[in-house]
Structure 1
Amino acid sequence: MAHRFRTLFPCVSAALYATFLLLDLTGAADSTPVKFAAILLCFFSSLLCLQTADGRLTAAALAGAVCADWFLLLPGHSYPVGVLLFCVVQAAYALRLCHMQGKQFRPALPLRLLPLLLFALPLPKLAALSLFYFANLTANVREALRAAAHSGAARLFAVGLLLLMCCDLCVGAVQLGLLTGFTGIGMWLFYLPSQVCIVLSAEPKGKNL
């Protein structure tokens, strides 16, 4: 049953992906419910991997992503809470990378923690929080690329984090008013594929990466 669901998962995700991209491109209707349904699908699919520590960390991260998207997507946006939750997601991915690599894991603490000093500066708190998040994402991408040589699942996880970085670069570009014709669509062009790759990178059969 779990294997069948994981086989269907990319197909259903692709259908939702095509639907919300079409809605975004044509403006025919609000795509938000379809996007949130796709993220929920990713989370529920990840629950099939709870037999392993790696799967549990992945599911915890995707639960955080669902909560973050709730605050970012739905009416009454609370961007600081959403970004803070995405920081928690990156912490879960750092733990996953530590589990995958063991003693080879390099936490890169200066890169991860130095952005905390931004909170002491007269910057908007959302900007400081976003930079802290992106620094931790960058550190995780670096470690994921190092781990990618170990297995196909690790490579898929690295691809997922790279796609997530592309999504966040589009988010930043939108906030700066850059290339909004593409970046407004590009956010979700990269985001759902990143989550699908991360789900599929989790080992569901009791094996470690």
Structure 2
Amino acid sequence: MNKYLQRLPLSTIIFTASEMAVYITYLSIDLTFAFSPVISDIFKYAGVLLCFLYIHWIPGAHPAIRKSFLLLIFSDYFLLFTDSYFAGVVLFGAIQCLYFIYHSGLKRLPPGLAAVSLIFPGLWLISSLLGFRGILPAAASIYLSLLLTNLIFAFRRALASKNTGLFIFSAGLVFYLLCDFNVGLMNAPDYFPAATPLWLSFLRVRQVHQGTAFAIWFFYLPAQVLIALSQTSLSPSLAASKTWDSPRGVSS
């Protein structure tokens, strides 16, 4: 273990330690209500910005992952500091398309997935006519389908290629899914009438609502950190492969 730590680049050690400090800080704020929620959101956004800076600092990161973190700083800004939730979900859908490019070894989206990605601008246009509330579940459903597709295929390719970066990337997607599961639990009561099943009434209990809200960022930042760490030199990513532009370019 000590030999492994000695081999870690200094930038990775600093990044990981900084993210741990940010993570403990905002979780402590959320648990104790010691400060305004805005302070917690600032630390959360700082954690995302650190991922963005790290992925653009280290050499050899896959271009699709770098682009995904650029979109991420915009999507999380919408979700943390504005009411433009639909814009955030649309950007997350685009991020999932970039993830597919990464783990598939392609340089561009295949026609089928490209067609799916075109649905997002259409939903955005429709939302301007119908309002966010009516169209947001549709966008979230498309995003979730993309996430599940990425999770399944990334694990399959990681097992086939033995690529360490893909294993870490896949673990990040698992944390993503756990985060989104709690997002769904927290928002489910808003999309059902007042006369709801018992389990939805249970979700309206204040303590349960606070618990799901806490769990969202309990899982979310670790997801981003794992995806960023999947690009480190000790976790060789697909960018290190000379055949990453080929559908078979998944070897380490």
TM-score range for the pair, normalised by the shorter chain length: 0.7 to 0.9
Change in CA separation of 1:203 and 1:18 when aligned onto 2, cut-off 3 Å: closer
> In the alignment, which residue of structure 2 is the partner of 1:157?
169
Q: 1:131 aligns with which of 131, 141, 154?
A: 141
- 2:94 and 2:88 map into 1 onto residues whose CA distance is 10
> In the alignment, which residue of structure 2 is the partner of 1:83?
89
- Aligned pairs for 1:63-82 (under 5 A) are 63-74=70-81, 76-82=82-88
- 2:44 and 2:232 map into 1 onto residues whose CA distance is 25
Contact preservation (8 Å) 2:60, 2:231: no
1:91 Cα deviation after fit: 0.6
> In the alignment, which residue of structure 1 is the partner of 2:220?
191
Contact preservation (8 Å) 2:172, 2:224: yes
Structure with bigger gyration radius:
2
- 2:156 and 2:227 map into 1 onto residues whose CA distance is 16
- 2:18 and 2:165 map into 1 onto residues whose CA distance is 21
1:113 Cα deviation after fit: 4.0
The 4+ residue runs of structure 1 with deviation greater than 3 A are 49-52, 203-206
Which segments of 5 or more consecutive residues in structure 1 lack a partner in the other structure? none
After superposing the two structures, state which structure 1 stretch, 123-132 or 77-86, moved more.
123-132
- 2:95 and 2:59 map into 1 onto residues whose CA distance is 17
Change in CA separation of 1:50 and 1:90 when aligned onto 2, cut-off 3 Å: farther
Contact preservation (8 Å) 1:50, 1:59: no
Measured against aligned partners, the alpha-carbon deviations of 1:81-137 in whole angstroms (never above 9, x if no partner) come to 1110101100100100111xx6xxxx7x58x949x5xx69x9821110010101000
Q: Percent identity?
A: 29
Counterpart amino acid of 1:57?
A: A
Change in CA separation of 1:50 and 1:58 when aligned onto 2, cut-off 3 Å: farther
1:148 Cα deviation after fit: 2.2
Q: Tell me whether 1:43 sits opposite 2:49 in the alignment.
A: no
- 2:85 and 2:227 map into 1 onto residues whose CA distance is 23
Measured against aligned partners, the alpha-carbon deviations of 1:20-41 in whole angstroms (never above 9, x if no partner) come to 0000011111201000000000
Contact preservation (8 Å) 2:12, 2:232: no
Matched position secondary structure for 2:14: helix
Q: Tell me whether 1:5 sits opposite 2:11 in the alignment.
A: yes
> In the alignment, which residue of structure 2 is the partner of 1:26?
32
- 1:40 and 1:151 map into 2 onto residues whose CA distance is 27
Matched position secondary structure for 2:34: coil
Q: Tell me whether 1:171 sits opposite 2:183 in the alignment.
A: yes
Counterpart amino acid of 1:198?
A: I
- 1:207 and 1:132 map into 2 onto residues whose CA distance is 31
Counterpart amino acid of 2:69?
A: L
After superposing the two structures, state which structure 1 stretch, 199-208 or 28-37, moved more.
199-208
> In the alignment, which residue of structure 1 is the partner of 2:197?
none
> In the alignment, which residue of structure 1 is the partner of 2:247?
none
TM-score, normalised with respect to structure 2: 0.70
Counterpart amino acid of 2:229?
A: L
1:194 Cα deviation after fit: 0.4
